[in-house]
A = this chain, B = another copy of it.
């Protein structure tokens, strides 16, 4: 391993948005483990959160206990895990061709903190990178991933090339990723497309995260909410009316 592939200054967070509580097997987690293992081998400190095992409130405020909810584990997760992570990978299953409700809940909660700015006045998630892992048994990886990656870039994350991967089987109900099949093989494990994409996603997340970290984030000019609100326009001009 060349020295340049030491990513020990990086931290990553995988949030698994399965609908199944522990100790039920999460097929999505099996796929995430491929990526997590590569990261760990290269020195990254990796946190994994299975959202449904936590009592996370629903809503678009940073702390829902201030909105009448009795419990909300999200503020602590956000403070200790999300903010600390240079790399955020949202993982989830496909239901009826779309992201799980838990995935939407997590994105809503991330969005609830989208007003936060860093010391330069940029959105707080600038300088971080985002990715996405999706599993299902029949259809919808790209549909789910395009929503997740869009949401992350909207919040301020940079999306490296090919920052999503996933596995589905042939159209219709069938085994999920990691299920043992009658012939003794395991669904998805030999899928070259899934394995390659998961590997490439992982490395691209690492490379871009490191580049941005070494760079001290994204240069603070032309993209600071605080300065825009104070009147800076960074060479913006309305088009001439024609």
Contact = CB atoms under 8 A, between A and B. Distances in A.
Interface of A: 2, 4-5, 19-21, 25, 30-31, 33-34, 37-38, 41-42, 52, 58-60, 67-68, 95-102, 104-105, 107-108, 111, 123, 125-126, 138-143, 145-147, 149-151, 153-164, 166-173, 178, 180, 186, 188-189, 191-196, 198-200, 202-204, 206-208, 211-212, 215, 218-219, 221-223, 225, 228, 233-239, 241-242
Contact of A99 (B104, B159, B202): B104
Given A96-B154, A101-B101, A172-B192, A59 B20 contact: yes
5 contacts: A138-B193, A139-B168, A142-B154, A145-B150, A204-B218
Nearest to A198: B236
Q: Tell me whether chain A's interface is mostly helix, strand or loop, or mixed.
A: mixed
Contact of A241 (B95, B173, B180, B208): B180
B163 A19 contact: no
Contacts of A33: 239
A111 to B, nearest CB: 5
B147 A149 contact: no
Nearest to A59: B19
A115 to B, nearest CB: 11
